[in-house]
Amino acid sequence: MTTTPIPPSTTAQSVVSLMDSIADVGRDTARGGYSRPVYSTPELDLRSWFVEAAERRGLEVETDRNGILWAWWDVPGHDRTDAVVTGSHLDSVPGGGAYDGPLGVASSLAAVDVLQQRGFAPSRPIAIAVFPEEEGSRFGVACLGSRLFTGAITPAKALNLRDAEGSTFADVLRANGQDPAAVGVDRAGLERIGLFLELHVEQGRGLVDLDAPVGVASSILGHGRWRLSVSGQGNHAGTTLMADRRDPMVAAARAVVAVRDIALLHESARATVGRLTPVPGGTNVIASRVDFWLDVRHPDDAVTAAVVEQIHAAARAVAAEEGCTVDLVEESLSATVHFDTAVATGLSAATGGSPLLPTGAGHDAGVLSAHVPTGMLFVRNPTGVSHSPEELCEDADARTGAVALADTLAVHAG
């Protein structure tokens, strides 16, 4: 491909101005960072921002029956098949960073700028996709949009998922003008994709340690989520003697420590409890139940299963000692993903020999990789921190990432 490289400081500058333009959307003053749950006002504002920016670039935007946004750079005389698709997500975790998701979307728009500046004329369609509920922060299942799109979750299970307020996913779809009866696997949609490339801020220090601004994903750690509910006897904090208690909060606390201790027994395992909800949740009330959510990850799916089983057994044991019971429910599970080697090495070659590195973070690209050729580009995060306000991407690296994405799109859509 002989293109005159555009200095990142010129056209790819738009990735910086695009990110700046959403810097105040969904700021969470209580937690810090950003809270942009799917179909919340901040996430809907980001969708509008994306549609306006895409249309300003001459892309034609549609929302499919799973709520996925598609912005098309069509080719005259070529239908929407075998497209080179890029994009990411706009929803966030509670109190998340600015870049997890939106950097991939902004970089996709900036890559279109770079290509249009170069006078590039694609021979096959290019599209930018924005997947809803990648984080699973509102309805509990990660990559809900891409799972519905690929058939990795049934419509029935998805539509009955509830958020913290008790609204079902079906309720929320209806409230946003979507037809719940229409969600589900989209084979025609999958057939439109010839290649999916997702750019994402790195959620770790790999590129810092490699001293590289851009990297290529080799694999995604298998991961799952389980809800544990510990039940005891709710009672009065003042009238209940310590010896007479069956306190699920104490059982849950002991179980959370066991989560850490068991994970440490398995090299490369990660096990996290980031969310715990006592019921009813009063300062002067012994809880009747405590729900907490477990996130376990490991390169070997069998080890993930073993870790969860050991945690479940430990939780049952400490619950029994506290006069409580515990129930465990699997909420989502993703096997370890090894990206297509040809795609990954091609991405490395198209981006000046960017290094390949694994990630412990899940992505829509991981879901799509079972159905279409898929790859990922990572952009350096100087702090290595993510799912936290300290997540960072320097402007220069963001521009370099956007140009790298433009170069890969040009290779595949040229």
Which residues are at the interface with ligand HGY (CB under 6 A)?
A: 134-135, 142, 361-362
Number of residues in the chain: 414
The nearest distance, CB 234 to ligand HGY, in angstroms, is 32
The nearest distance, CB 89 to ligand HGY, in angstroms, is 8
Residues forming a β-bridge with 231: 289, 325
| Complex with ligand HGY: residue 11 or 92, whichever CB lies closer | 92
State the Cα–Cα distance between residues 133 and 13, nearest whole angstrom.
28
From ligand HGY, Mn ion, none, which one binds at residue 101 (CB under 5 to 8 Å depending on kind)?
Mn ion
The nearest distance, CB 28 to ligand HGY, in angstroms, is 17
From Mn ion, ligand HGY, none, which one binds at residue 114 (CB under 5 to 8 Å depending on kind)?
none
From Mn ion, ligand HGY, none, which one binds at residue 362 (CB under 5 to 8 Å depending on kind)?
ligand HGY
| Complex with ligand HGY: residue 145 or 213, whichever CB lies closer | 145
Question: Is 102:56 a contact under the CB 8 Å cutoff?
Answer: no
The alpha-helical segments, DSSP class H, found in 66-222 are 102-117, 144-150, 155-159, 169-175, 187-191, 206-210
Number of residues in contact with Mn ion, rule: CB under 5 A?
Answer: 2
> Residue 301 — φ and ψ, nearest 5°?
-60, -30
The nearest distance, CB 69 to ligand HGY, in angstroms, is 18
Question: Is 328:309 a contact under the CB 8 Å cutoff?
Answer: no
The DSSP secondary structure of 198-266, one letter per residue, reads: EEEE-SSSHHHHHT-SEEEEEEE-EEEEEEEEEE---EETTTS-GGG---HHHHHHHHHHHHHHHHTTS
| Complex with ligand HGY: residue 110 or 142, whichever CB lies closer | 142
Of the candidates 204, 221, 232, the one whose C-alpha atom is nearest the C-alpha of residue 295 is 221
From Mn ion, ligand HGY, none, which one binds at residue 311 (CB under 5 to 8 Å depending on kind)?
none
| Complex with Mn ion: residue 90 or 271, whichever CB lies closer | 90
Q: Using CB atoms, what's the residue nearest to Mn ion?
A: 100
State the Cα–Cα distance between residues 40 and 102, nearest whole angstrom.
15
397 makes contact with Mn ion (CB under 5 A): no
The nearest distance, CB 135 to ligand HGY, in angstroms, is 5
State the Cα–Cα distance between residues 221 and 304, nearest whole angstrom.
10
The nearest distance, CB 100 to Mn ion, in angstroms, is 4
From Mn ion, ligand HGY, none, which one binds at residue 142 (CB under 5 to 8 Å depending on kind)?
ligand HGY
- Binding mask 95-124 toward Mn ion (x if CB under 5 A, else -) reads -----xx-----------------------
| Complex with ligand HGY: residue 100 or 247, whichever CB lies closer | 100
State the Cα–Cα distance between residues 24 and 185, nearest whole angstrom.
35
The nearest distance, CB 358 to ligand HGY, in angstroms, is 13
- Which two three-digit tokens encode residue 98? 């600015």
What is the contact surface with Mn ion in residues (CB under 5 A)? 100-101
